[in-house]
């Protein structure tokens, strides 16, 4: 039954055709009586076609169908002649259906115009085709029917408007949900890309430097080459472990993943030592307490220093030294990484694709900080970042 109801809702012309057929049965029942009273059968048939034929199309073409029905009503008024004509026939109810259709599907203005035509036709019908006593009762009954049609049209029209508004809101909510999902996916992809870049780029850069050193020293200084190879292996294992943890989180939320604490500003000391081991002297200056920084600030400081020192290793050239300054005040934390190499900004972007600089800038922006990177006036490259700490 529910399936049939849904099918009827999807095919409203079928239900309207049933209404037209039901009214047609009434018309056929009085056809012989109308002909006996002097009504031409061709006129009777023309009125039937005009008033019942448009009913199946009233929802798709409400104005056209309604005024065809009205034309049939006026044709009946002038062809069913005098007091000998039948006062009411089944197709007359199509006028009430047309009024309901205009109010529900077009609007009140169209309904008022149509109601005015119905009022005029009803008064003419009452004056010319029925007696005075009959007129009072029948006109009252006609007005009741038309009033009921108007009320039903108002109710259904308001319900349709409410449903349209709900549908529009649902569409907007779905669109907003999809947009938020796309934004969340984009942000997550950017975050994952930053983490992978920071982990892999630093580890690979250290491994390359040590591999080059081992290749040069393998014949003349085998002990130094052995230490370099050992450092390469250790750095590779650490990078592989961190990547496995990150990939374990991405694969499944249900999997039991081994969690490790995120690095923070205290890990900058280890970064400096690793960079010195790679052959780049690093001087570290820390002013203020960096142990109890907010987690996001501590991680960003670590990653920015890591990326800056990685760029120094890759692009600054031989004989380069670096300076890392971290200064904390009650209001903000200032970070600066400076080297005196001869690499150019073009080299940095050309080799790395600019992803490292983009990642550093994004980390600072997410926390409401400022970031700048560029050539140092005294030569080399300089990276500066500022993070607000005050509430």
| 242 has a pLDDT exceeding 80 | no
| 308 has a pLDDT exceeding 60 | yes
Task: Give how far Cα 282 sits from Cα of 82, 137, 321, 348, Å.
Answer: 114, 107, 6, 19
Candidates 116, 47, 54; CA nearest to 75 is 47
102-152 tens-digit pLDDT? 888 888 888 888 888 888 887 777 776 665 555 666 677 777 888 888 888
Query: Which of the listed ranges 112-126, 200-214, 238-252, 341-355 does the model predict with the highest average pLDDT?
Result: 112-126
For residue 257, the model assigns a pLDDT of 47
Parallel/antiparallel/unpaired status of strands 322-328 and 282-287: parallel
pTM for the predicted model, two decimal places = 0.44
For residue 6, the model assigns a pLDDT of 67
Q: How confident is the model at residue 57 (pLDDT cuts 50, 70, 90)?
A: confident
Domain segments of the chain: what residues? 2-130, 265-391
74-90 tens-digit pLDDT? 888 777 755 455 557 77
Looking at 3.90.1300.10, 3.40.50.2300, 3.30.565.10, 3.10.180.10, the CATH number of the domain 265-391 comes to: 3.30.565.10
Average pLDDT in the 60-66 region?
87
Average pLDDT in the 213-231 region?
81
3-state SS class at 220? coil
Cβ-contact 374, 344 below 8 angstroms? no
Distance CA(100)–CA(155), nearest Å, equals: 10
Task: Give how far Cα 130 sits from Cα of 40, 87, 125, 160, 236, Å.
Answer: 19, 7, 7, 39, 105
| 347 has a pLDDT exceeding 60 | no
Scored b (16 or more CB within 10 A) or e, 335-366 reads bbbbbbbebeeebbeeebeebbbebbbbbbee
158-181 tens-digit pLDDT? 888 888 888 888 888 888 888 888
For residue 385, the model assigns a pLDDT of 93
Candidates 239, 260, 232; CA nearest to 196 is 239
Q: How confident is the model at residue 324 (pLDDT cuts 50, 70, 90)?
A: very high
For residue 337, the model assigns a pLDDT of 92
């Amino acid at each position: 039954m529910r399936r049939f109801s849904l099918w009827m809702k999807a095919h409203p012309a079928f239900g309207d055709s049933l209404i037209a057929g039901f009214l047609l049965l009434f018309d056929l029942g009085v056809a012989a009586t109308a002909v006996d009273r002097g009504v031409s059968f061709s006129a009777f048939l023309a009125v039937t076609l005009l008033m019942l034929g448009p009913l199946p199309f009233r929802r798709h073409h409400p104005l056209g169908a309604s005024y065809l029905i009205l034309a049939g009503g006026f044709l009946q008024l002038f062809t069913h002649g005098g007091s000998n004509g039948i006062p009411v026939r089944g197709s007359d109810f199509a006028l009430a259906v047309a009024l309901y259709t205009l109010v529900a599907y077009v609007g009140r203005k169209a309904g008022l115009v149509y109601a005015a035509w119905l009022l005029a036709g009803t008064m003419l019908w009452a004056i010319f085709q029925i007696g005075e006593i009959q007129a009072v009762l029948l006109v009252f009954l006609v007005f009741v029917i038309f009033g009921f049609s108007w009320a039903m049209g108002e109710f259904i029209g308001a319900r349709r408007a409410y449903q349209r508004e709900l549908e529009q809101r649902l569409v907007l909510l779905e669109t907003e949900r999809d947009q938020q999902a796309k934004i969340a996916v984009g942000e997550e992809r950017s975050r994952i890309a930053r983490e992978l870049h920071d982990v892999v780029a630093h580890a690979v850069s250290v491994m390359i430097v040590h591999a080059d050193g081992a290749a040069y020293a393998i014949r003349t200084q085998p002990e130094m080459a052995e230490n370099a190879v050992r450092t390469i292996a250790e750095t590779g294992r650490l990078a592989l472990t961190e990547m496995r943890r990150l990939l374990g989180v991405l694969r499944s939320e249900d999997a039991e993943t081994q969690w490790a604490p995120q690095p923070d500003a205290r890990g900058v000391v280890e970064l400096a030592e690793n960079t010195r081991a790679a052959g780049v002297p690093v001087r570290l200056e820390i002013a203020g307490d960096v142990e109890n920084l907010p987690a996001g600030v501590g991680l960003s400081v670590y990653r920015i220093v890591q990326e800056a020192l990685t760029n120094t290793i890759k692009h600054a050239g031989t004989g380069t030294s670096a300076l890392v300054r971290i200064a904390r005040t009650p209001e903000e934390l200032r970070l600066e990484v400076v080297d005196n190499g001869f690499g150019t900004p073009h080299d940095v972007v050309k080799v790395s694709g600019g992803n490292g600089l983009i990642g550093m800038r994004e980390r600072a922006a997410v926390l409401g900080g400022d970031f700048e990177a560029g050539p140092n006036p005294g030569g080399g490259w300089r990276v500066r970042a500022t993070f607000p700490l005050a509430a």
